[in-house]
A and B are shown apart, each in its own frame.
Chain A
């Protein structure tokens, strides 16, 4: 039986709206961008933030978008970018992940050294994580 919309609205937490979430993610990203890679604070922070997202996503406390019950065969088109990415990553990894054969993470290292880029990518990671939580 379908849930009346009034109840569904009441069940949504008051903080679950863009005007609250976006500034929160900006703040979390601004803090996350401060911690350099390989540092203990960076590890603890990403574990805490990711762990909170995981808990929210598994708790079933938040409303979720309806997902399709089955996919059309045309979904196989997604194999094209997935296999391309996997092939390049595997080839560069087998090549030793060096300057001449860089993996994606090796290429991203110089970018992530900049605070602004690091904070912006942190924001993207968090926002996408939130999108997954609501799926």
Chain B
């Protein structure tokens, strides 16, 4: 395995590990860090006029993720 491949795989693993670490820190009692769910919920509240831009953007992104990994 080449060095660059190893670095890439390690980088992705570190990123996912960081997600888990921040989520655990957020779930501690009296933590000021929002959980991932709260963060996403906050983003989804964003509206422009009557248009739920945040919801559309988050749904669109997650739909694209599914299409990208399972269909493309």
Cβ–Cβ contact B59 & A72, under 8 A = no
Cβ–Cβ contact B4 & A95, under 8 A = yes
- How many A residues, CB 8 Å from partner? 58
Would you call B37 an interface residue if the criterion is a C-beta within 8 Å of the partner chain's C-beta atoms? Answer: yes
Which of chain B's residues have a CB closer than 8 A to the CB of A57?
A: 55, 59
Cβ–Cβ contact A68 & B58, under 8 A = no
Among B15, B36, B42, B70, find the residue whose CB has the most chain A CB atoms closer than 10 A. B70
The residue that B37 contacts in the complex, of A95, A122, A131, with Cβ under 8 A, is A131
Which of chain A's residues have a CB closer than 8 A to the CB of B59?
A: 53-54, 57-58, 129, 132-133
Contact surface of A with B, Cβ cutoff 8 Å: 32, 35, 37-39, 42-43, 45-47, 49-51, 53-54, 57-58, 65-75, 77-78, 80-81, 84-85, 87-88, 91-92, 95, 99-102, 104-105, 107-108, 112, 118, 121-122, 125, 128-129, 131-133, 135
Which of chain A's residues have a CB closer than 8 A to the CB of B34?
A: 68, 71-72, 74-75, 78
Interface residues on B, range: 35 or more
How far apart are the CA atoms of A71 and B33 in the complex, in Å? Answer: 8
Contact surface of B with A, Cβ cutoff 8 Å: 2, 4-5, 8-9, 11-12, 14-16, 18-19, 22, 25-26, 31-34, 36-42, 44-45, 52, 55-56, 58-60, 62-63, 65-72
Which of chain B's residues have a CB closer than 8 A to the CB of A99?
A: 2, 5
